[in-house]
Structure 1
Amino acid sequence: MAKITYIEHSGTKHEVDVDEGMTVMEGARDNNIPGIEADCGGACACSTCHVYVDEKWVDRLPAPDPMEEDMLDFAWQPDPKRSRLTCQIKVTEDLDGLVVQMPEKQI
C-alpha cells in the first residue's frame, strides 16, 4: 500500500492509501477525489486523468510510454516534464509519499 497525496487545483489536499497494483487514477476514483475524471476508464484513450507530478517525484517514476506521450498532447496545459496520465502509473510500495496536483480542468 502507498500513501498518495492528490492536490486539487484550488490547493485542497487529499491523502489516501492506495493498494499496490492499482493505478494512481483508480486510487483517485475509488476515493472520490475531485479533479480526475478518467472518462476512458484507464485505457489511455483520453487525457482526463492528467496531473502534474511533484518535482521530487518526476525522476522516480517509470518513463511514460509513447501512447501516454501522445495522449498528453490533448491535456490541459501539459508540462513537458511534470505531466502524466494517472491511469498509466501503477502503484507500488516505491510510490509511498507520491504527490500529484490536478490541473485547472480536464479536457
Structure 2
Amino acid sequence: MSDITLHITDRDGTTHEVQAPTDMNMNLMEVVRSYELAPEGTIGICGGMAMCASCQCYIESDHELSEMGDDEDAMLGQAYFVQDNSRLGCQLHIHPDMDGLAVTLAPEEP
C-alpha cells in the first residue's frame, strides 16, 4: 500500500478526505500544505523543524502514533490552544498504520 486516507478538518470546520503517500517520507504538515487546507504562510512556518506551533493539530481518532520527542513537547509547552491530544503535524511522518487518521487543525496563534 502506498497511499492512505486521512480525514483533516481545516480551521473553518470543513473535513477533507485526502490521500497521502506512505513512500515519500512526508509528514502531516506537508500533506496539509500540499492540499492547501490552510492559507499559505499560516502552517509550517518554520519548515517542519518543531520550532513553531503553526502546524499544531488535534488527534481525533484512536491511532497509536509515534512518541512525542523532546523538541515537540517543548514547543507545545509554549504554544496556544494546546489540548491533551495536541501534536505537531511536522513531527508525524505518514506511515501505513495511520490509515483513517482523523485530525483537526488547531486555530492560528493570536
Aligned partners of 2:61 and 2:101 also within 8 Å: no
* Ranges in structure 2 where 5+ consecutive residues have no aligned partner: none
User: Is 2:102 the counterpart of 1:99?
Assistant: yes
Aligned partners of 2:26 and 2:93 also within 8 Å: yes
Aligned partners of 1:25 and 1:42 also within 8 Å: yes
Structure 2 equivalent of residue 49 of structure 1: 55
- Give how far 1:75 is off: 2.1
Aligned length: 104
Pairs within 5 Å for 1:61-80: 61-79=65-83
- Give how far 1:55 is off: 4.5
Task: Say which SS state the counterpart of residue 17 (structure 2) adopts.
Answer: strand
* Ranges in structure 1 where 5+ consecutive residues have no aligned partner: none
What TM-score does the superposition give when structure 1 sets the normalisation length? 0.88
- Give how far 1:44 is off: 1.1
Structure 2 equivalent of residue 6 of structure 1: 8
Structure 2 equivalent of residue 19 of structure 1: 21
Task: Say which SS state the counterpart of residue 25 (structure 1) adopts.
Answer: helix
Report sequence identity in percent.
29
User: After the TM superposition, which segments of 4 or more aligned residues of structure 1 sit over 3 Å from their partners?
Assistant: none
Q: Matched residues in 2 for 1:55 and 1:106: separation?
A: 24
Task: Say which SS state the counterpart of residue 45 (structure 1) adopts.
Answer: coil
Task: Say which SS state the counterpart of residue 16 (structure 1) adopts.
Answer: strand
What TM-score does the superposition give when structure 2 sets the normalisation length? 0.85
